[in-house]
Chains A and B, each alone.
Chain A
Amino acid sequence: MQMPQPDAGVLANKPRIAARLRAALGPRGVIDDPIELRAYECDGLSAYRCPPLCAVLPASTEQVAAVMKICHEEGVPVVPRGAGTSLAGGALPTADAVLLGVARMNRVLETDYDNRFIRVEAGRTNLSVTGAVEQDGFFYAPDPSSQLACAIAGNIAMNSGGAHCLKYGVTTNNLMGVTMVMADGEVVEIGGAHLDAGGLDLLGLVCGSEGQLGVVTEATLRILAKPEGARPVLIGYNSAEVAGACVSDIIKSGILPVAIEYMDRLVIKAADAHVGANYPDCEALLIVEVEGSDAEIDDQLGRIVKIAKRHNPVEIRESGSAAEAARIWQGRKTAFGAMGQINDYMCLDGTIPVSRLPEVLRRIGEMGAEVGLQVGNVFHAGDGNMHPLILYDANKPGDLEKTEALGAEILKLCVAVGGCLTGEHGVGVEKRDIMPSQYAEADLEIQMQVKDVFDPDWGLNPAKVFPLDASAGRRG
């Protein structure tokens, strides 16, 4: 992974820059000790590490604005960080960058049930947004699997999804407004407690812009009344083709499950070994969840089971109780951890049209075999968002490079069948250099021109999203 050469001038000015930041934030708000900075050297893509020049932990929008102003004046790049759970290296620092963490900004600012929104500081974790409203029967819908740890700031930067977005959409569909600090320190309000934009939809542009257009410090989020209940059914098949056909038939039938999850044999076995999930012995396992009252759930699951039976399942396991439902979900929810126990792995995130699932799964298996790497698959089948897990040995020289090369080929396959490089994790540094496989030069140029508008000096998270050579002229 290539990163830009750090700016020697900035490195030389570290004492002055740190002193200015400390004057603005107080001693608790600035970290410049090399040992302490190690905590910020990477995010969830831990194969790449680089301690930043210093890290700042502002406590308010005003303090973020002060930091941005100082960094703008000093010509210091800023890398924003939510909770550091990015799997794409979205919060990977460079040696000459100030790492701006919003973790101290985690308050709930306003809760309004009549108008169904909550306003929070952006450092608040995803799950604790729901935590703030669930006692009153509400929830915040986007649920990335890192939701216990990940911050709303990062969710907005990456437009995070989750298991339940088949019904409820992703972050951008649940975001109503933001307070954002621009690269030069100016504070701008976009959207609010009302719906849609009065002018251009800048909110839709900011969401998913990977911290390159501004630093979001506060967010107004749509909250929803919790459904009466939810229950899954587990369906096992002996081939990916048949499981894929079943998914298609369920969607076509008009039932809208909140989730359709898929696991292949490798992952099923790992989940079994890890938490004793007791899943059926099969090639492809589906977990389909629906919501409503007990009678409504029975009605919908009855229809789903009828469809599933037409495809000769190995097993159908319905959940009669909350405990049984939890058991069905447990293996899926811990699948990534289970895979981590058996091996190092790299998690991909391409999306494909659901009609191409069987073909793509077969090709992924073949491509892995060609280079001697095993690939497990666990993903959101309802929306085609795949998460191939390539198993490798981090201690074996050359294995990581081989894995990355296979990963890039799999993602290019996703694009080739009509899909995209990333469904919910973001581009970050990880997929930056394969962006040209999805977008032509002009398509990337117009996106970079958008960054020119918001951040003319390219000081915000500059070495991400766009191929390094494509952005070289702009980064100076």
Chain B
Amino acid sequence: MTVTTESALAEAIAGAQGPLRVRGGGTRDIGRPTAGDLLKVAITGVELYEPAALTLVVGAGTPLAEVTTLLAGEGQRLAFEPMDHRVLLGTEGVPTIGGVVAANVSGPRRIQAGAARDHALGMRFVDGAGRVLKNGGRVMKNVTGYDLVKLLAGSWGTLGVITELSLKVQAVPETEATLIVRGLALEQGVSALARALGSPYDVTGAAHLGFDGGTTLVRIEGLQGMVDHRAGALLEDGFAGWERIDAAASAALWADVRDVAPFAGSDRPVWRVSLKPTDAPGFAAALEAAGLSHRGIFDWGGGLAWLELETTAQDAGAATVRAALAAVGGHATLVRGAPEVRSSIDVFQPQSAPVTALTRALKQKFDPRGVLNPGLMGV
């Protein structure tokens, strides 16, 4: 069923006789496959856009492309740089802004500007009992009551179905530049990224591609003079020999990092691992030592490892990945994997016993009948 209004959505959920598969554009086929009737959220339209207040209020089913086009018309953008999963997953469909927030999808700029959840100022949503609810608002600073917006962001439609979002937007900077070097090993790459991120130059992208000999990238954005000064200062101090790539060519590099484009067009398992950046080299080495060959894209200064595994293991490497990660801490999600694999393993990182208990209890309050994407996140 496709719903185009909040009241129809509330009615559909309240009247559901069994589980619902809640989707926006259906481009992010991630998590444990769930049964049930398809409930597609197509509540679209711009409620309010105030460029001078950096605020956008929009129906959750509005296509992401419409949002970005609207913002670009005023020289603005979504600062958190959401990934387009169609590239990596080979899915079709039209990504929606509601899907972006429901999955808390962020890109390379997350390290500097924050995640999708940090830019969601408020929302309306329908919970599993069919109650129409709101939380937060449309202003930048708001501590009135509990922050359910953060809780709903990244809950993959398991607690409630977002119908309307207030978002904080950002001005597109005048220009950007990327400093790039080839040939660094992962450990050297992560160390260079740490130096860049520890500099006063407000680096907005820091990634290492760990294949084809290694490529390490550092992005600066801002006014032209600012970018020149900052890139120049880095090139003089510790980044001698790095090449500078400007404007559109720089943007193209980061679109590929954002979309994990180098891993497109295959069905090998891809894991998304969040960890402490300097733990990345040891973690990758531990996987190799355990016989798990892989290619890695290390975004967020090393703190976000995208791993494409060379494995035929029934669990897509889950046991090995999670054992290696347990030694350092963090979380791992199987983003690309065959449905039968995703049905048989924990796609999302298993949580500690107390956190699992809290998660179950929250699910019970928000969705007492268990109709919203039950099991998608594992709990």
Contact = CB atoms under 8 A, between A and B. Distances in A.
B276 A193 contact: yes
A114 B117 contact: no
A452 interface: yes
A446 interface: yes
B150 A199 contact: no
A427 B194 CA distance: 39
Contacts of A249: 52
B131 A446 contact: yes
B154 A295 contact: no
Given A115-B277, A182-B354, A169 B145 contact: no
A396 interface: no
B147 A204 contact: yes
B148 A446 contact: yes
Contact of A227 (B137, B202, B274, B362): B202
A295 to B, nearest CB: 6
Given A200-B159, A200-B359, A204-B153, 11 more contacts: A170-B143, A196-B115, A199-B351, A199-B377, A202-B358, A254-B172, A351-B139, A380-B141, A423-B143, A424-B143, A443-B135
B173 A254 contact: yes
Interface of B: 50-55, 74-75, 104, 106, 110-111, 114-115, 117-118, 127, 131-135, 137-151, 153-155, 159, 170-174, 191, 194, 197-200, 202, 222-223, 225-226, 229, 274-278, 300, 303-304, 329-333, 348-349, 351-352, 354-355, 358-359, 361-362, 365-366, 377-379
Contact of A194 (B199, B222, B226, B274): B274
A254 B198 contact: no
A87 to B, nearest CB: 12
A442 B142 contact: no
16 contacts: A114-B194, A114-B198, A138-B198, A172-B150, A193-B329, A195-B111, A200-B362, A205-B150, A296-B229, A299-B225, A355-B50, A421-B144, A427-B145, A435-B145, A438-B137, A447-B148
Contacts of A66: none
A400 B150 CA distance: 37
B223 A439 contact: no
B365 A453 contact: yes
Contacts of B173: 254
Contacts of A384: 53, 139-141
A225 interface: yes
Contacts of B151: 200-202, 204-205, 450
A41 to B, nearest CB: 25
A161 B141 CA distance: 8
A188 B115 contact: no
Nearest to B174: A254
A249 B51 CA distance: 10
Contact of A300 (B74, B139, B223): B223
A449 interface: yes
Contacts of A352: 139
B140 A385 contact: yes
Contact of B144 (A112, A190, A256, A427): A427
B200 A225 contact: yes
A202 B143 contact: no
B155 to A, nearest CB: 6
B137 A420 contact: yes
B144 A251 contact: no
A300 to B, nearest CB: 7
A444 interface: yes
A203 B378 CA distance: 19
Nearest to A158: B143
Contacts of B141: 161, 165, 170, 351, 380, 383-385, 423-424
A225 B222 CA distance: 17
Contact of B142 (A199, A254, A423): A423
Nearest to B125: A446
A450 B333 contact: no
Contacts of B159: 200
A189 interface: yes
A198 interface: yes
A270 B149 CA distance: 39
Interface string A267-309: 0000000000000000000000000110110011000000000
A452 B378 CA distance: 23
A358 to B, nearest CB: 13
A251 B348 CA distance: 39
Contact of B223 (A116, A299, A418, A423): A299
Given A198-B331, A256-B171, A450 B362 contact: yes
A419 interface: yes
B299 to A, nearest CB: 10
Interface in A157-181: 158-159, 161, 165-166, 169-170, 172-173
Contacts of A190: 355
Contact of A295 (B111, B225, B348, B379): B225
Contacts of A166: 140
Contacts of A296: 222-223, 225-226, 229
B198 A116 contact: yes
Nearest to A247: B52
A349 to B, nearest CB: 9
A425 B143 contact: yes
A197 B154 contact: yes
Contacts of B75: 254
Contact of B52 (A195, A292, A354, A440): A354
A420 B198 CA distance: 36
A204 B117 contact: yes
Contacts of B329: 192-194
A173 B118 contact: yes
Contact of A172 (B131, B147, B276, B349): B147
B147 A443 contact: no
